[in-house]
Amino acid sequence: MTHRSRQSVWPRLFLAAAIAIPITPARIAVAEDVGENKSDLIRNLLPTVVNITVRKDESGPTSAANAAAQGADVSPIKTFVGSGFIIDPSGQIVTNYHVVQDAFEITVTFSDGGRAPGHVLSASRLADIALVKVDVDHPLPAAHWGNSDLLQVGDQVFAAGNPFGIGLSVSAGIVSGLNRDIQNSPYDDLIQTDATINHGNSGGPLFNMQGDVIGVDSTIISPTTGSSGIGFAIPSNSAHFVIDQLRTYGWVRPAWIGVKVQTVTGEIAEALGLPQARGSIISWVMADGPAAKAGLAIGDIIIRYDGTVPSDERALLRDIAHTPVGDTITLSVRRNGEDRDVLIPVEAWPRNQWEARDAPTPVLRPKIVIPPDLGLSLSAISDGEKTNLGLDKGLNGVLVKGVSPGSDPARRGLSSGDVILRVQNTPVSTPADVQSGIDAARAGKKDFVLMLVLPKVRDVIGPKWFVLRLNTADG
């Protein structure tokens, strides 16, 4: 089963000091130095990694049916977590598209605990890459792109992310395989690793031992919702290409020659009487496209691209897509047993055709109106009620009589029977006191208000602080 984590991703590294071999004191010192170097490297990279929390409105017929079946008000506003990494000191962040898809609110948490709201600048659904921006008043530490083409099976890698939403975590492992095709897109070229990947790490970076980003954690294959040691990352060269295109043009703008191809399999080679299975056979040529103008035809077999031999049709399509628009490429083509070179000036993929297959769903910014009272129905507490509500002698509060379904207080766990003791650390004893505290926080242009609440149902003794949203979802 393939899982793309909305909460998701990876790795596990064995330090040299843990290797069980006979060693002299000198060898112990070397092993410890290697471990310390890794610790220093990881510590320096952590500030470039972020946690991403998103809110999505999943209201609809299914949501309503579930709520009815449970006999309760179930909020359609859901929270999901993922990961990302900073690529520009101005606040540009890379993550997976599926992390932020359909989100109306994005919150980025940095390694030092600081937070900032984010918004999607642009994205590619097909590549599963999104570019998120946060507005900050100081430069942020940015990660460096590495060259994923240099990776080899067995290379050590490590990653940082937000597995299961528990917070920034580091793990490590090795590259288990390259150029994996798991049918997510026609261009799959994924890095496989045995590093631990879980929901919550999606969008996080996969680092090499030089501290460069060589992959973007994206997908796991597992019979359960947890990691089974088979995880995948988008190679940095592919991700970097997509990000550069998004930053420059607002869409991927791949190069295009207007052909559809298939890998020449052993069966195809035998059917055609070819001595070996090699190249990609053309199954369709778009009218008036660059390939048609250059004379390519259905049945031609593309053997080489600019002197190199692509491993399969996915590699050929990637090579073409990554070619700078306007450049001329040389395709070595076999037709009727004879090879010839064809020069083709590549063009930009027609945008309307590309967006028909890769137009990401727009970032949603619904007009969620937060009422002045936050959706809380309140009443004063008489002296006779205090004992039943668990209020100590001399302690005052305000009783929550009701909470609007789907409201922020409901989503955060407030319910009828709870008692509000303080608003912004100021004791309250009447509904007017609570409203006054809410109004004062709004007047101070705060996004949130803090309330000390004595829950009706308590897992542990004593009250609990709740932070409630004051502003609308779209600011």
Concerning whether 144 is annotated as a catalytic residue, the answer is: no
> With the C-alpha atoms ordered 383, 386, 392, 396, is the resulting torsion angle positive or negative?
negative
**From 57, 83, 128, 240, active-site residue:** 128
- 31 and 169 part of one domain: yes
CA distances from 116 to 107, 132, 134, 135 (A): 6, 11, 6, 7
- 36 and 131 part of one domain: yes
Q: What is the CATH number of the domain that holds 428?
A: 2.30.42.10
Spacing of C-alpha 300 from chain mean position: 40
Q: What is the pLDDT of residue 142?
A: 96
- 219 and 108 part of one domain: yes
Residue-level pLDDT, tens digit, the chain, 475 residues: 445 543 332 222 222 222 222 233 333 333 444 445 788 888 899 999 999 999 887 765 555 455 444 444 455 678 889 999 999 999 999 999 999 998 888 999 998 888 899 999 999 988 899 999 999 889 999 999 999 889 999 899 987 888 777 778 888 888 887 877 655 555 567 888 876 767 788 899 999 989 999 999 887 665 555 555 678 889 999 999 999 999 999 888 999 999 999 999 999 999 988 888 889 999 999 998 999 999 999 999 999 999 899 888 888 988 999 999 999 999 999 998 889 999 999 999 888 888 888 877 665 554 556 788 899 999 998 877 887 787 777 788 999 999 988 788 887 889 898 999 999 999 999 999 999 999 999 999 888 999 999 888 777 788 889 999 887 644 3
474, part of any domain? no
132, part of any domain? yes
- 58 and 194 part of one domain: yes
230, part of any domain? yes
475, part of any domain? no
298, part of any domain? yes
- 260 and 234 part of one domain: no
**From 98, 227, 238, 312, active-site residue:** 98
- Integer Cα distance of 354 and 456 in angstroms: 55
- Integer Cα distance of 434 and 310 in angstroms: 68
- 433 and 463 part of one domain: yes
Question: Comparing C-alpha atoms, which of 235, 239, 209, 216 is closest to residue 148?
Answer: 235
439, part of any domain? yes
- 315 and 456 part of one domain: no
Q: What is the CATH number of the domain that holds 48?
A: 2.40.10.120
334, part of any domain? yes
- 390 and 289 part of one domain: no
> With the C-alpha atoms ordered 185, 191, 192, 197, is the resulting torsion angle positive or negative?
negative
Burial (Cβ within 10 Å: 0-12, 13-18, ≥19) of residue 331: buried
Interacting residues of 413 by C-beta distance below 8 A, sequence separation 6+: 455, 466
Residue that is last in its domain, among 339, 366, 393: 366
Concerning whether 3 is annotated as a catalytic residue, the answer is: no
Q: Could you list the residue range(s) of the whole structural domain that residue 334 is in?
A: 255-348
- 383 and 310 part of one domain: no
- 280 and 310 part of one domain: yes
Q: What is the pLDDT of residue 23?
A: 30
Q: What is the pLDDT of residue 215?
A: 92
**From 124, 176, 202, 218, active-site residue:** 202
- Integer Cα distance of 379 and 391 in angstroms: 15
- 208 and 292 part of one domain: no
Concerning whether 202 is annotated as a catalytic residue, the answer is: yes
When divided into structural domains, the chain yields a total of: 3
Q: What is the pLDDT of residue 207?
A: 92
416, part of any domain? yes
- 249 and 260 part of one domain: no
